[in-house]
Amino acid sequence: MVKIRPSRFIEFAQKEEIGEIVELWKKEMDFFHGLDGQYFNPTALDKEEFAERLEITYNMFPIFILRISGKIKGFITINLADMGITDLNRIPYCEIEYLIVSRNAAMSGKEMLLKEVSNWARQQGYQRIDFKVYSKDKKSLEYINTINIEPSYHMMSVNVI
């Protein structure tokens, strides 16, 4: 794995920072649970399980963090399950598993993180990065319309309960 030198605000996470990343994740998940308690079930993934997932990710791929004034304000991880596969057109791509940025740094933080991950992916030979956006998060949807992201499909779900 080639590790590129990130920008001024973006760094690669260190193993000892996983606890701080988990705390940011938990805070943001609590916020999203307030937006939609059915979709963001606070018991679906607990902090210990998320920390274990981050440790596995850390050992295989870089975790990019956004640091402002010495504090972690966001992070982005690559999905392990689909890393390096090709789509039906044989285009190599990777997927973002988590893109979490605190609300006070959300739009510019997301843009900085996406730019760094794009640079990393290009150096790794990937031609596309896929990720899902929660459709009830209006600010994220508005933001995506302002930057160079091309929606390729919409994921929909049907409740079967």
Residue-wise pLDDT for 117-148, tens only, equals 888 888 888 888 888 776 666 776 676 667 66
pLDDT at 154 over 60: no
pLDDT at 26 over 90: no
* Average pLDDT rounded to a whole number, residues 42-60: 80
pLDDT at 66 over 70: yes
Read off the pTM. 0.76
Tell me: domain 10-145, CATH 3.40.1160.10, correct? no
| pLDDT class of 1 with cuts at 50, 70, 90 | very low
pLDDT at 161 over 80: no
Phi, psi of 93 (to 5 degrees): -145, 165
Identify the top-confidence range among 52-66, 102-116, 145-159: 52-66
The long-range contacts involving 134-137, CB below 8 angstroms and separated by at least 24 positions, are 134/32, 134/36, 134/39, 136/35, 136/36, 136/39, 137/32, 137/35
